[in-house]
A = this chain, B = another copy of it.
Amino acid sequence: MPLSKLSVWEGSVDLYNIELEEALGIILKSSNPIKKVEEVNLMQTLGRVIAEDFYAPMDNPPFDRSPLDGFAIRAEDSFYASDENPLSFEVIDTVYAGMPSSKNIGSFQAIRIMTGGKMPSGSNTVIRIEDCEVSHDRVVIKDRLKTYQNYCFQGEDIKKGKLLINKGTKLSAIDLGVLGSMGQKTVKVIGKPQIGILVTGDEIIDYSSELIDGKIYDTNGIMLGSRLKELGLEYKMIKPREDNVKAIAQGILDNIDDLDLIITTGGVSVGDRDLMDDVVKEINAKQLFWRLNFKPGSPAMYSVINDKGILSLSGNPFAALATFELMARPLIANISGDSTIKTKRVRGKILKDFNKKSPNRRFIRGIYQEGEIDLPEGGHSSGMLLSMRNCNALIDIEAGNTGIKKGEEVEIILL
């Protein structure tokens, strides 16, 4: 989206301390679904978003076939068969599945046929093997069969031209099976979102290094990168040479052309070393909002440069994770066209008292199962990531809430 289109927010919206829903509105309005379409080998399309409606290119089954093991005959030859009037047919060939017969069935001729075998020319029914008396090259029939009894028609499962998979579907294993059964060799899919992660903070060092006095190991880069992988996405780690405004700005500028979105962590508070505000100004990105009316992660910031979003999250790991779930997932769903990346809201009964007051709106972690939500050991009190380990949900608690009693219904975001 050209920057000029964003002018509606200038002045008319207070960019500071906005509500989550307003932030999401801004994020979604300013982000662009990927238009690039790639044609890739069928076997590489699992989890990709199909770019076009897929219509069956052929009938399935691709020929008339037998649903059972028996003898293909002309039904009219059996019309006078009965226990009192057994009729004998000449067996002129055998059809296995995948090995059709070139012979034509004439009057009182039969071809032995297996399940899935192509119906021989001239035949219009199959008598099951259990109902026949078979000798060397003859078969005796005592039943009257109807025309097209025990007979599968070409296209019975899927008719050529039928809409099978809608544009925008994230392709599943079953979809790949369906596409494969149609002999589809390649599939047109939406380009994968290219997402960069940039961790700021002088105190942060990489897990692969030795710890230095006063430093801590990175959590956010590993966690958010792995979270993207869990969602079926890829990412690129952006590593500025130094932790200062110019180097971080350069890191963004060097990568932004190849990326659809950059997620940063840290540097969004207001201390001396909180650099993101300066970084955004340094690269002339348009800062659409800064600070949100909820916890955790309220210092988050969102900026746009060359139509690409820069979502800047708090450096606190739990806050970074929570705001990733609340904001990055809807954003990436929009960019990728993959609606399964969105989080889902449900309501459910809380299984424990939550006795804290919430002067501001806040999201606390929970463990959701079948309409009920539990709070983890250690509760919500700590900003620690560790207590998020077994959680699969956030509870959305409105500002002014004075406490929640066990059994009350709460608003839940499933992660």
Residues of A within 8 A of B (CB): 42-43, 46-47, 58, 60-63, 69, 95-100, 114-118, 157-158, 164-165, 172-185, 201-204, 207-211, 213-227, 229-230, 243, 269, 271-273, 317, 321, 346, 370-371, 382, 384-386, 388-389
Residue contacts A-B, CB under 8 angstroms, 12 given: A42-B207, A63-B214, A69-B272, A98-B216, A118-B214, A165-B389, A174-B385, A178-B386, A179-B222, A180-B207, A181-B207, A185-B207
Q: With CB as the reference atom, state the residue of chain B lying closest to A232.
A: B230
Q: With CB as the reference atom, state the residue of chain B lying closest to A321.
A: B174
**B174 and A388 contact, CB distance less than 8 A:** yes
**B222 and A272 contact, CB distance less than 8 A:** no
**B271 and A114 contact, CB distance less than 8 A:** yes
**A69 and B271 contact, CB distance less than 8 A:** yes
**B181 and A216 contact, CB distance less than 8 A:** yes
A211 interface neighbour in B58, B117, B230, Cβ under 8 Å: B58
- Could you tell me the distance in whole angstroms from the C-beta of A366 to the nearest C-beta in chain B? 14
CA distance A203 to B214 in the complex (A): 67
**A389 and B172 contact, CB distance less than 8 A:** yes
CA distance A213 to B101 in the complex (A): 10
User: Given A182-B217, A183-B211, are A227 and B173 also a contact pair (CB < 8 Å)?
Assistant: yes
**A100 and B213 contact, CB distance less than 8 A:** yes
Q: Which chain B residues border A204 with CB–CB below 8 Å?
A: 98
- What secondary structure prevails in chain A residues at the interface with B? loop
9 more CB-based (< 8 A) A-B contacts, given A115-B269, A173-B224: A62-B216, A98-B202, A116-B201, A116-B203, A164-B386, A172-B226, A173-B230, A178-B389, A181-B317
**B60 and A216 contact, CB distance less than 8 A:** yes
Q: Which chain B residues border A220 with CB–CB below 8 Å?
A: 177
Chain copies in the assembled complex: 2
**B207 and A117 contact, CB distance less than 8 A:** no
Q: Which chain B residues border A321 with CB–CB below 8 Å?
A: 174, 177
**A63 and B97 contact, CB distance less than 8 A:** no
**B176 and A46 contact, CB distance less than 8 A:** no
CA distance A132 to B367 in the complex (A): 43
CA distance A384 to B69 in the complex (A): 20
**A222 and B176 contact, CB distance less than 8 A:** yes
**B177 and A226 contact, CB distance less than 8 A:** yes
CA distance A219 to B179 in the complex (A): 8
Q: Which chain B residues border A173 with CB–CB below 8 Å?
A: 223-227, 229-230
**A180 and B229 contact, CB distance less than 8 A:** no
**B219 and A384 contact, CB distance less than 8 A:** no
**B115 and A223 contact, CB distance less than 8 A:** no
- Could you tell me the distance in whole angstroms from the C-beta of A314 to the nearest C-beta in chain B? 11
Q: Which chain B residues border A183 with CB–CB below 8 Å?
A: 207, 209-211, 217
User: Given A96-B202, A229-B46, A272-B69, are A386 and B158 also a contact pair (CB < 8 Å)?
Assistant: yes
**B177 and A222 contact, CB distance less than 8 A:** yes
User: Given A173-B226, A370-B371, are A217 and B181 also a contact pair (CB < 8 Å)?
Assistant: yes
A96 interface neighbour in B172, B175, B227, B272, Cβ under 8 Å: B272
**A203 and B172 contact, CB distance less than 8 A:** no
CA distance A213 to B63 in the complex (A): 8
Q: Which chain B residues border A385 with CB–CB below 8 Å?
A: 174, 177-178, 181
Q: With CB as the reference atom, state the residue of chain B lying closest to A42.
A: B207
CA distance A223 to B176 in the complex (A): 6
Q: Which chain B residues border A165 with CB–CB below 8 Å?
A: 389
Q: Which chain B residues border A222 with CB–CB below 8 Å?
A: 42-43, 176-177, 179-180
Q: With CB as the reference atom, state the residue of chain B lying closest to A165.
A: B389
- Could you tell me the distance in whole angstroms from the C-beta of A114 to the nearest C-beta in chain B? 5
**A214 and B272 contact, CB distance less than 8 A:** no
- Could you tell me the distance in whole angstroms from the C-beta of A240 to the nearest C-beta in chain B? 14
Q: Which chain B residues border A370 with CB–CB below 8 Å?
A: 346, 371
Q: Which chain B residues border A69 with CB–CB below 8 Å?
A: 271-272
